[in-house]
Amino acid sequence: MHVHALIDAVVRQTTVLIAQLATAAGVRAPLSHLADQVFLNLVNELEAQGLGRKVVADMFGMALRSYQLKVQRLSESATDRNRTLWEAVLAFIADEGPVSRLRVMERFAHDDEALVRAVLHDLVESGVVYRTGRAHAVVFRAAAPDELGAAFRADDAASEAMFVWVLVYRRGPATFEQLAAESRLPEARLRAALTTLEADGRIERHDERWRCSKFVLPTGSTVAWGAAVFDHYQAVVNAIGIKLRRGGPRSVPGEAVGGSTWSFDVWPGHPKTDEVLGLLKALRERVSALRNEVTAYNEAHGRPEDAMKVVFYCGQAVVTPDEGDGR
């Protein structure tokens, strides 16, 4: 499969997932920031792969100057560290209530004035900030949650703690700054989640780095559902990424990194229907038993610094005829 077609197909499936997450259970989550955030994350990853800015700009079909200006506008604010300028300006307007353009400019005096004005324009155009008045009397107000969607609400503290827990498990030992960049949670809420997790022993801190050796999501928990989706999706992406970095797009018999997908056509009365539908349950039981054995050995003998982390994932979808392609 040509790489361009593969990228297009992956993007399409990812946008399907995002759309379903954004509308799950009647929620209408605001997505105004999404395109800019995807652009910035992709830029960071491409440059981390060793590509120069001119090459990356060309990949986006942009002139180098236009590319640099866009990256600068979306990157970390010089006034509020660990936040993009977009996020920092929005948070300031939301916290302070209706504020004048002059007040915004004074607050972000360390950032380029043209960039701040561009961010204000983006916020208004995306519908998350309202603008009233004219000329020097312009005032900005953040949209209320019910104006962004009647059913939208922020994740509660328990859900955020679950999300941070999986980040610490997968990324740890991790600093606060690393977790802030990964989670994109406001500083106060991230600290609250870390405090909760540390207090009940789910994570531990050493030299200002958080880590944990165990991450267990309770079956049936609605609080843990989002963390479970993130953990599974991340496992799939990491496995594919490691596969590409180490061996390229090919399979080798007996390899320890990779994935496989099988499809079965069964129906009521088929002699193998129950066995096929029970695959997920059977695999969960087998893997859980093995993990318990590994955990017991590790707790008895200790875990060396050079220990490998093996992430095994499995999933199962049952697509009925009325669900079409199962998207």
Closest CA to 327 of 34, 18, 27, 7: 18
Read off the DSSP letter of residue 314: -
Phi then psi for 193, rounded to 5 degrees? Answer: -65, -45
Closest CA to 138 of 117, 114, 111: 117
SS3 state of residue 206:
strand
Angle at 235 between CA 231 and CA 239, to 5 degrees: 170
pLDDT at 104: 92
pLDDT at 155: 46
Query: In degrees to the nearest 10, what's the CA dihedral of 160, 161, 162, 165?
Result: 120
**73-121: pLDDT as tens digits:** 777 666 776 667 777 888 899 888 899 999 999 999 888 888 888 888 8
pLDDT at 253: 67
Question: Percent of the chain beyond pLDDT 90?
Answer: 26
**90-99: pLDDT as tens digits:** 889 988 889 9
* Token duo for residue 167: 């980040």
pLDDT at 30: 59
Q: Do 28-148 and 159-248 agree at the fold level?
A: yes
Its pTM surpasses 0.85: no
CATH top-level class for 159-248? mainly alpha
For residue 293, give every residue at least 6 positions away whose Cβ sits within 8 Å of its Cβ, in sequence order, or none: none
Task: Return contacts of 307-314, CB within 8 angstroms, 24+ apart.
Answer: 310/256, 311/235, 311/238, 311/239, 312/287, 313/232, 313/235, 313/236, 313/239, 313/259, 314/280, 314/283, 314/284, 314/287
Strand partners, 99: 140
Amino acid at 133: G
294 vs 306: CA distance, rounded Å: 16
Question: Mean pLDDT score of the chain, rounded to an integer?
Answer: 81
The hierarchical CATH code for the domain 28-148 is: 1.10.10.10
In this structure, the number of other CB atoms found within 10 A of the CB of residue 255 comes to 11
- Does the pLDDT at position 71 exceed 60? yes
Q: Which helix (H) or strand (E) holds 162?
A: helix 157-171
- Does the pLDDT at position 153 exceed 50? no
Assign 300 a pLDDT band (cuts: 50, 70, 90).
very high
* Token duo for residue 105: 């400019």
Assign 220 a pLDDT band (cuts: 50, 70, 90).
low
Domain locations along the chain: 1-27, 28-148, 159-248, 261-327
